[in-house]
Amino acid sequence: MSTANLIILGAGEDQVPAYVEGRRLGYRIIGVDQKPDALGASLADEFLCLTTREPEAIARRLGAIDVAAVISPASDAAQASVAALSRHYGTAFQPAPDAVRASEDKGYFLSVVEKLGLPRYRSVHDSDPDALARAAAGLRYPLVVKPADASGSKGLRCVTDPADLPGAISTARKHSFSGEIVVEEFVSGTHYSVECFARDGRPELTIVTERTLTPMPHMISVSHLVPASLSCAVRARLQDMVTAVLAELGHRNGPVNLDVIAGEDEKLYFVELGARLGGNGMPRLAAHAYGVNTVAAAIRLAAGRPPELTTHAEPRVVMLRILTADTEGVVTGIAGADAVRALPDVAALELFKEPGQRVHPYTQAAHKLGYLIVAADTRESLQRTLDTALTTLCIDIEPDQTPQEITS
Ligand SMILES: Nc1ncnc2c1ncn2[C@@H]1O[C@H](COP(=O)(O)OP(=O)(O)O)[C@@H](O)[C@H]1O
Ligand SMILES: [Mg+2]
């Protein structure tokens, strides 16, 4: 009998664990990414250098083969293709259409939140920039302007001055495939992310992380910490809200990741949802903190096998810190990585760049350089290890010359 095929859409750092787990589970891996040098490309048995957004082209290239499962961790943009290819190959798991739509259209997701009567900030969405600017006139500043269908903070801006609104709309438009833009009121509060795995319509696994972000205007995730300090009552409320959203979307089984803000009014505001495994290293954090392999669970579910979601009872305090650059340039050397890995509380250090490669300032999540995971007994000792690790690790970057330097 030939080995069953697993199609993985995307081959970036947040899809790489699926290549590793898929192989461990015995699948033949077909990877797809438009970047020929994507991190996971060399881990695939067969690699298609194609955009993940065109399922017909992917199916045409693959021809009449048997496919056991299709997945795309961390990518909202690929979920419509996951659904189309799952249908085409008749795989065991078929994504719920409304869950796919909510993943790729933030405006639609917010309308679902509204329909359910859950806390909701004011927002408007449109594909016509002038109509959008007019509609936004009734909203209270600061505003968050974002493409309805992008992720990783691409094209997202926080606007405090009405004069900057048209520019922010035009930036968002450049990053939107559908052309649809959302303008929202800014919610002040504490940011969380919820990594959940549904079984038979219930969130069987719910991991809540405390999130830190880069400052305005980009607001990109910098770290996730578990366990989040939330009361049992707030956790229960969040769990009920997630259950209601899953039911409304018909997402009865599988991973789902949500961004949540606990507002100053103590209400919980959902910001967005992706009916797939979370990005920013979320499955790595889940594995280190709770001993659960959500990547294997997602692959097994997609192939019609029962997922295994048992967790450790009590985690230590665990943080996933995203490593970033603050300048445009080229990596000239990396030192201290082994010393960081040898620190007692460092659980993992992964670097995605090597000398000679180009790096960019952290203006979107895709520009990350690596993940550092620290597990400690207390928040204080975690912070000490984090500080030591960040000063020990030296990623030398030769910055690009500015035009002034070139002429002087
Ligand atoms: N209306 C808002 N008020 C406050 N913060 C927001 C708002 N919208 C987004 N953010 C913050 O910015 C982050 C990125 O926005 P999000 O809609 O999740 O876009 P992306 O798909 O790029 O992750 C959110 O996770 C949240 O922390
Ligand atoms: Mg988000």
Question: What class, spelled out in words, does domain 122-185 have in CATH?
Answer: alpha beta
Task: Decide: 186 in ligand 1 pocket, CB within 6 A.
Answer: yes
- Determine the atom of ligand 1 nearest the C-alpha atom of 186: 3
| Neighbour tally for 396: CB within 10 Å | 12
* 198: CB partners within 8 A, 6+ apart: 204, 246, 251, 252, 253, 254, 255, 256
pTM (2 d.p.): 0.95
Residues whose beta carbons lie less than 5 angstroms from ion ligand 2: 259, 272
DSSP state of 225: E
Which one, of 280, 249, 256, 246, lies nearest residue 196 by Cα? Answer: 256
Whole-number pLDDT of residue 314: 72
Question: What class, spelled out in words, does domain 316-408 have in CATH?
Answer: alpha beta
Pairwise CA distance, residues 278 & 192, whole Å: 13
Task: Decide: 238 in ligand 1 pocket, CB within 6 A.
Answer: no
* Nearest alpha carbon, ligand 1 atom 27: 191
Q: What residue has token string 């991991």? A: 207
Ligand 1 center to residue 187 CA distance, Å?
A: 9
Pairwise CA distance, residues 354 & 330, whole Å: 9
Task: Decide: 269 in ligand 1 pocket, CB within 6 A.
Answer: no
Task: Decide: 335 in ligand 1 pocket, CB within 6 A.
Answer: no
Ligand 1 center to residue 285 CA distance, Å?
A: 21
For the chain, what are the domain ranges?
5-96, 122-185, 316-408
| In contact, 203 and 138? CB cutoff 8 Å | no
Q: What does each of the 408 residues of the chain score in pLDDT, given as a tens digit?
A: 568 999 999 999 999 999 999 999 999 999 999 999 999 999 999 999 999 999 999 999 999 999 999 999 999 999 999 999 999 999 999 999 999 999 999 999 999 999 999 999 999 999 999 999 999 999 999 999 999 998 888 999 999 999 999 999 999 999 999 999 999 999 999 999 999 999 999 999 999 999 999 988 889 999 999 999 999 999 999 999 999 999 999 999 999 999 999 999 999 999 999 999 999 999 999 999 999 999 999 999 999 999 999 998 777 999 999 999 999 999 999 999 999 999 999 999 999 999 999 999 999 888 999 999 999 999 999 999 999 999 999 999 999 976 555 443
- Determine the atom of ligand 1 nearest the C-alpha atom of 150: 21
Question: What class, spelled out in words, does domain 5-96 have in CATH?
Answer: alpha beta
Pairwise CA distance, residues 211 & 220, whole Å: 10
* Nearest alpha carbon, ligand 1 atom 20: 151
- Determine the atom of ligand 1 nearest the C-alpha atom of 153: 22
Alpha helices in 261-365 (DSSP H): 282-290, 294-302, 337-342
